[in-house]
Amino acid sequence: MEQKEEQSNASERSETRSQLAGLSVKKAEDFNEWYNQVVLKADMIDYSLVSGCIVFKPNSYSIWEKIQRIFDDKIKKSGHKNCYFPMFIPESLLKKEAEHFEGFTPEVAWVTEGGSSKLNERLAIRPTSETVIYESFARWIRSWRDLPMLLNLWNSVVRWEFKHAKPFLRTREFLWQEGHTAHATKEDAEREVMQQLFEYVDLIENYMAIPVIAGKKTDKEKFAGAEYTTTVEAFMPDGKALQMGTSHLLGQNFAKVFGIKFLDKDEREKHVWTTSWGLSTRTIGAIVMVHGDDKGLVLPPKLAPTQIVVVPIIFKENKEKVIEKAKEVFKKLRLKNYDVNFDDRDSYTPGWKFNEWEMKGVPLRIEIGPKDVEADQLVLVRRDTNEKTTIKIKDLEKKTEQILNDIQENLLKKSREFLTKSMIEVHTFSDFLSTIKNKKMAKALFCGGAECEDWIKDKSEGATCRCIPFEQKTAKGPCVQCGKEAKFWALFGKGY
């Protein structure tokens, strides 16, 4: 199996080196192949020699850097501080919380040797950091004055077991942030859970331009060791739901296991209440899938590594004048703090450059040729609609800001319309199955029973409860599957 995967990766690396210009498949016809071609030809990734792992090239890592800066600013404003913990977790530590350990056992990669020496105890390569952090919390927290403790990590994690690798969405190592907090009361911890969840909503909707449904996971789908898990779910064009971020109330489970106690104001010793929350580089995959088209990437301006590209259209007889004017435009935009690229490569035709920047998803292209110089004008081409607008150079700053804002809003509007059309309210199980078969999500009355949930997954070829949406109308009537009295409306769909 490993040998086959390595041969497959070698083939994929070879394909990367000999990329063809343009995509050979359409998004609507072969979504999986379209996605694989986009992330390669937009120069976002390369495959590594380790099966299931990818290289984040600058065109994708720059997106992650912007996501980091935005979210980092958010959490620092609310008092959170960044730190770093070791990636190696002793097996005894990982096993301390039984439910947590059992939930991650199949995915853990183990270190058993150091150099030529066998280790006395296996070390897990971090699948998540709760256990290693809480061992420290038990030493650091003594009094109510030490609370709340609000920490965040930017790191990578390793989860080894999966069926099919998919860049960004399912890889053995991925990047994320994981927040870990300790509080004096359950109420404070629950406020933290919801605060961070809706920070994710803002980040995903207003920066990634992807609408999400916020809600709670069922007990069956919650994070291992948590009291409950909240989630933000998006829906992809191939008919699958994608969990974009989660926020967990861990309660006092870990605190009791690790002995995290504090002396409260009433002079009584109590266990803390903990939370954890995370968002990963799978969101980059979501951006590709939701916004991309048959020309390649389409990136929201707020996260695009290059927001604007200036392309001078050069002929021999007027090259200097065009280059000079194009540079003026470039410098003006740089002064406005846009991420802008000046493409004066003379070994490529303008058409080739246009195709390349379209493939890479640059939101706005500015063309300037000899006639534009004479007329003191520019041609602006937006990536989302391919619409061309001719403007006077004096209006550059105003029009650029206006168009980039409009692109950002338009991408969210289009994806929101798609999400709305993809959620179907159903009242019978036959309608439920038909909805899932038609690659949509089913919103149905549900009893909440784990056995019923298992039965639904089995009969619908893998549809799971994505969440119990916070926005609920009265749940009155029978469960869509078993007929018992429903407890709430739940959203079901196939997922990644």
Note the pLDDT tens digit of each residue in 234-280: 999 999 999 999 999 999 999 999 999 999 999 999 999 999 999 99
pLDDT at residue 10 greater than cutoff 60: no
Give yes or no for a contact between 329 and 338, defined as CB atoms under 8 angstroms apart: no
pLDDT at 161: 77
In a domain, 299, yes or no: no
Instruction: Return d(Cα 244, Cα 201) in angstroms, integer.
Output: 9
**Is the pLDDT reported for residue 19 higher than 50?**
no
Hey, which residues does 464 pair with through a beta bridge? 493
Confirm if 289 and 234 have CB atoms less than 8 A apart: no
DSSP one-letter string for 208-251: S----EEEE--TTTSPTT-SEEEEEEEE-TTS-EEEEEEEEEEE
Answer yes or no: is pLDDT of 137 > 90. Answer: yes
Q: Is the pLDDT of residue 7 over 70?
A: no
Q: What is the CA radius of gyration of the chain?
A: 25
Residue 316: pLDDT band with limits 50, 70, 90: confident
Say what percent of the chain tops pLDDT 90: 89
pLDDT, tens digit (0-9, with 9 covering 90-100), for 60-74: 999 999 999 999 999
pLDDT, position 100: 75
Q: Is residue 113 part of a domain?
A: yes
pLDDT beyond 60 at 210: yes
Residue 147 lies in a domain: yes
For position 95, what pLDDT does the model report? 86
Q: Per-residue confidence at 485, pLDDT binned at 50, 70, 90?
A: very high
The domain of 347 spans: 308-418
pLDDT, the chain, mean: 93
Say yes or no to pLDDT of 219 above 70.
yes
What tokens does 24 get?
Answer: 């050979």
Whether pLDDT at 488 is above 70: yes
Q: Is residue 296 part of a domain?
A: no
Query: Which pLDDT score is estimated for 389?
Result: 97
Same domain, 135 and 159: yes
What mean pLDDT is predicted for residues 296-325?
94
Q: What is the pLDDT of residue 157?
A: 96
Tell me, yes or no, whether 298 lies in a domain: no
Judgement on whether residues 222 and 359 belong to the same structural domain of the protein: no
Mean per-residue pLDDT, 372-384? 97
Contact 189/70 with Cβ under 8 angstroms? no
The residue-averaged pLDDT of 120-143 equals 96
Half-sphere exposure of 142 (CA within 13 A, CB side): 2
Q: What is the pLDDT of residue 97?
A: 76
- Please check the confidence at residue 4 and state whether its pLDDT lies above 60: no
User: Worst-scoring range by mean pLDDT, 4-8, 413-417, 419-423?
Assistant: 4-8
* Residue 465, number of CB atoms within 10 A of its CB: 22
The whole-number pLDDT of residue 39 equals 98
106 and 20 within one domain: yes
Residues 357 and 448 in one domain: no
**What pLDDT sits at residue 21?**
61
In a domain? residue 52: yes
Asked if 385 and 413 count as a contact pair (C-beta separation under 8 A), the reply is no
Q: Does residue 214 share a domain with residue 169?
A: yes
Last residue of a domain, one of 363, 393, 418: 418
Residues 395 and 479 in one domain: no
Q: Please report whether residue 297 resides in a domain.
A: no
Average pLDDT of the residues in 283-293: 98
Residue 319 lies in a domain: yes
Count of alpha carbons within 13 angstroms of residue 3, beta-carbon side: 0
Give the mean model confidence (pLDDT) for residues 467-477: 95
Give the pair of three-digit tokens for residue 315.
């002929």
Mean pLDDT computed over 480-487: 94
Confidence of residue 463 (pLDDT cuts 50, 70, 90): very high
The answer to whether residues 435 and 382 belong to one domain is: no
Q: What is the CATH number of the domain that holds 217?
A: 3.30.930.10
Given 262, 291, 320, the domain boundary residue is 291
Whether residue 110 has pLDDT greater than 70: yes
pLDDT surpasses 60 at 16: no
End-of-domain residue from the set 362, 395, 418: 418
Q: What is the pLDDT of residue 18?
A: 37
- Shared domain for 400 and 430, answered yes or no, is no
Same domain, 176 and 235: yes
353 pLDDT exceeds 90? yes
Residue 484 belongs to a domain with what CATH number?
3.30.110.30
Does the structure show a pLDDT above 90 at 130? yes
Q: Are 126 and 13 part of one and the same domain?
A: yes
What is the mean pLDDT of the segment spanning 6-34?
Answer: 67
Q: Are 5 and 47 in contact, with CB atoms under 8 Å apart?
A: no
Residue-level length of the chain: 496
Give the number of domains in the chain. Answer: 3
pLDDT of residue 150: 98
pLDDT at 105: 79
Looking at the structure, do residues 258 and 280 belong to the same domain, yes or no?
yes
Question: Could you tell me if 125 and 257 lie in one domain?
Answer: yes
Tell me: pLDDT of 13 over 60. no
CATH of the domain at 333: 3.40.50.800
Q: What are phi and psi of 50, to 5 degrees?
A: -90, 120
